[in-house]
Structure 1
Amino acid sequence: MVNNVVSLDKLKAFWHSEVHDEQKWAVNMKLLRALGMFAGGVFLMRSYDFLPLLLLSLLVANCASRPLYRLPSEAKHATKKPLQTSRPYNLAHRGSNGELPEETAPAYMRAIEEGADFIETDILSSKDGVLICHHDVNLDDTTDVADHKEFADRKRTYEVQGMNMTGFFTVDFTLKELKTLGAKQRYPFRDQQYNGKFPIITFDEYISIALDAPRVVGIYPEIKNPVFINQQVKWADGKKFEDKFVETLEKYGYKGSYMSEDWLKQPIFIQSFAATSLVYISSMTDSPKLFLIDDVTILTEDTNKTYAEITSDAYLDYIKPYVIGIGPWKDTIVPVSNNRLMTPTDLVARAHSRNLQVHPYTYRNENQFLHLEFNQDPYLEYDYWLNKIGVDGLFTDFTGSLHNYQELKSPLPQQQ
Structure 2
Amino acid sequence: MGSACLILFALSCLIVGSAARPFYPPPSEVAEGERRPLQTSRPYNIAHRGSNGELPEETAAAYMRAIKEGADFIETDILSSKDGVLICFHDVTLDNTTDVAQHKEFANRNRTYVVQGNNTTGFFTVDFTLKELKSLRVRQRYPFRDQQYNGKFQIITFEEYITIALDATRVVGIYPEIKYPVFINERVKWQNGKKFEDVFVETLKKYGYKGSYLSDEWKKQPAFIQSFAPTSLVYASNLTDLPKIFLIDDITVPTEDTNQSYWEITSDGYFDFIKNYVVGIGPGKDTVVPVVNNYLQPRTDLIARAHAHDLEKFPKPISAPLHL
TM-score scaled by structure 2? Answer: 0.89
Q: How many angstroms does 1:355 deviate by?
A: 2.5
Q: Does 1:163 align with 2:113?
A: no
Aligned position for 1:68? none
Native 8 Å contact 2:171 2:221 kept in 1: yes
Q: How many angstroms does 1:78 deviate by?
A: 7.2
Aligned position for 1:110? 65
Native 8 Å contact 2:162 2:174 kept in 1: yes
SS in 2 for 1:322: coil
Q: How many angstroms does 1:219 deviate by?
A: 0.2
Count of residues paired in the alignment = 296
2:54 to 99, 104, 113: 99
**139 and 77 in structure 1: CA distance in 2 versus 1, 3 angstrom threshold:** farther
What are the superposed Cα offsets for residues 102-125 of structure 1, whole Å, 9 maximum, x if unpaired? 000000001101111100000000
**86 and 161 in structure 1: CA distance in 2 versus 1, 3 angstrom threshold:** same
Aligned position for 1:271? 226
Aligned position for 2:159? 204
Q: Does 1:289 align with 2:244?
A: yes
Larger Rg: 1
For 2:214, the aligned partner's letter is M
Q: Does 1:84 align with 2:39?
A: yes
For 1:175, the aligned partner's letter is L
1:306 to 255, 261, 265: 261
1:125 to 80, 86, 90: 80
- Amino-acid identity (%): 73
Aligned position for 1:324? 279
Runs of 4+ in 1 over 4 A off after TM superposition: none
Aligned position for 2:144? 189
Q: Which runs of 5+ in 2 are unaligned?
A: 4-30
For 2:58, the aligned partner's letter is E
Q: How many angstroms does 1:361 deviate by?
A: 3.0
Tell me, in whole angstroms, the C-alpha distance in 1 between the residues paired with 2:238 and 2:63: 30
What are the superposed Cα offsets for residues 294-342 of structure 1, whole Å, 9 maximum, x if unpaired? 0012111001211221111111111001000111110011111011111
Aligned position for 1:142? 97
Compare relative contact order (CA 8 Å, sep 6+) and give the higher one, 1 or 2: 2
Native 8 Å contact 1:299 1:305 kept in 2: yes
Tell me, in whole angstroms, the C-alpha distance in 1 between the residues paired with 2:159 and 2:318: 27
Q: How many angstroms does 1:354 deviate by?
A: 2.4
Native 8 Å contact 1:297 1:308 kept in 2: no
Q: How many angstroms does 1:237 deviate by?
A: 2.1
What are the superposed Cα offsets for residues 167-195 of structure 1, whole Å, 9 maximum, x if unpaired? 00000000000000001110111011111
Listed as ranges, the matches of 1:23-62 within 5 Å are: none
Q: Which runs of 5+ in 1 are unaligned?
A: 1-48, 51-75, 366-377, 386-416
Q: How many angstroms does 1:349 deviate by?
A: 1.1
Q: How many angstroms does 1:281 deviate by?
A: 1.2
1:355 to 300, 310, 318: 310
Tell me, in whole angstroms, the C-alpha distance in 2 between the residues paired with 1:160 and 1:124: 13
Aligned position for 1:243? 198
**364 and 176 in structure 1: CA distance in 2 versus 1, 3 angstrom threshold:** closer
Native 8 Å contact 1:112 1:119 kept in 2: yes
Q: How many angstroms does 1:87 deviate by?
A: 1.6
TM-score scaled by structure 1? Answer: 0.69
Tell me, in whole angstroms, the C-alpha distance in 2 between the residues paired with 1:356 and 1:96: 28
What are the superposed Cα offsets for residues 194-217 of structure 1, whole Å, 9 maximum, x if unpaired? 111000000000000000001000
More helix by share: 1
Q: How many angstroms does 1:363 deviate by?
A: 4.7
What are the superposed Cα offsets for residues 324-378 of structure 1, whole Å, 9 maximum, x if unpaired? 011111001111101111110111111122222212134555xxxxxxxxxxxx6
Q: CA RMSD in A?
A: 1.7
Tell me, in whole angstroms, the C-alpha distance in 2 between the residues paired with 1:95 and 1:227: 25
